[in-house]
Amino acid sequence: RRPRLRREALAKLDKEKDDELANFLIELSEEKEKEKQAAIEEKEKEMTGKVEEAETVRDQALVNLENVEVRFRESQEKALAEAALRAEQVKAKALVEQQNFYEGKVSKAESDRAAFLGLYTAENRRRKLVHNRLIELQGNIRVYCRVRPVVDVERASGRDQVVTEFPGIDNLSIRRDALTETTFEYDAVFGMSSTQ
């Protein structure tokens, strides 16, 4: 009986040992599972923190990018406005210079015109003086011209080829050949058929 008791005690001991070992392994497994779960949760928290940090950095970068874009647009608009203003200023300056140039030309032309008008007035005065003196010297002299008929002696010698014309009552034209024509002015011209 003893060996049986012993066997039963040993079996019981083995069973208790096995139960303890199983409980120990279960506890160990549960502990490992808890540690693993805690590590996973820790990693998840760490990763969540990193993701949140990355999202914050990304959001800040987007805000900075938008600010840079806004500043860039503003600087471009400002540069364009300044360029347009400079272009307008250059254009206005060129127009002022052109206006000054043409005003100078107009002023010079007006001063030249005034000078020439003075010269013209002086010359006109002198011309009138000369004309009045000529009239005074001429007095009431009247100059008349009478063209006589060709004489037989002139016909015989061949000097009758001279052509005489009367373009008006106070003009006389004499043509000796095809190239030579002389015109004279008188107070009155009387032709060959005149009875005077």
**Rg of the Cα trace of the chain?**
68
Confirm whether 189 is domain-assigned. Answer: yes
Residue with token string 């019981």 = 12
* 164 within 8 A of 172, measured Cβ to Cβ: yes
CA dihedral sign, ordered 14, 18, 21, 24: negative
Residues 126-174: pLDDT tens digits?
Answer: 999 998 888 777 766 777 788 887 788 877 887 666 667 777 788 888 8
Closest CA to 180 of 167, 168, 163, 159: 163
Confirm whether 194 is domain-assigned. Answer: yes
Confirm whether 101 is domain-assigned. Answer: no
E-assigned strands of 78-170? 144-146, 163-165
Q: How would you write the pLDDT of the chain (196 residues) with one tens digit per residue? A: 566 777 777 777 778 777 887 888 888 888 888 999 899 999 999 999 999 999 999 999 999 999 999 999 999 999 999 999 999 999 999 999 999 999 999 999 999 999 999 999 999 999 999 988 887 777 667 777 888 877 888 778 876 666 677 777 888 888 777 778 888 888 888 877 777 6
Confirm whether 151 is domain-assigned. Answer: yes
The residue range of the domain holding 148 is 142-196
Tell whether pTM > 0.85.
no
Burial (CB count within 10 angstroms: exposed 0-12, middle 13-18, buried 19+), residue 170: middle
Confirm whether 190 is domain-assigned. Answer: yes
Confirm whether 87 is domain-assigned. Answer: no
Q: What is the 3-state secondary structure (H, E, C) of 55-73?
A: HHHHHHHHHHHHHHHHHHH
Confirm whether 187 is domain-assigned. Answer: yes
Give the number of domains in the chain: 1
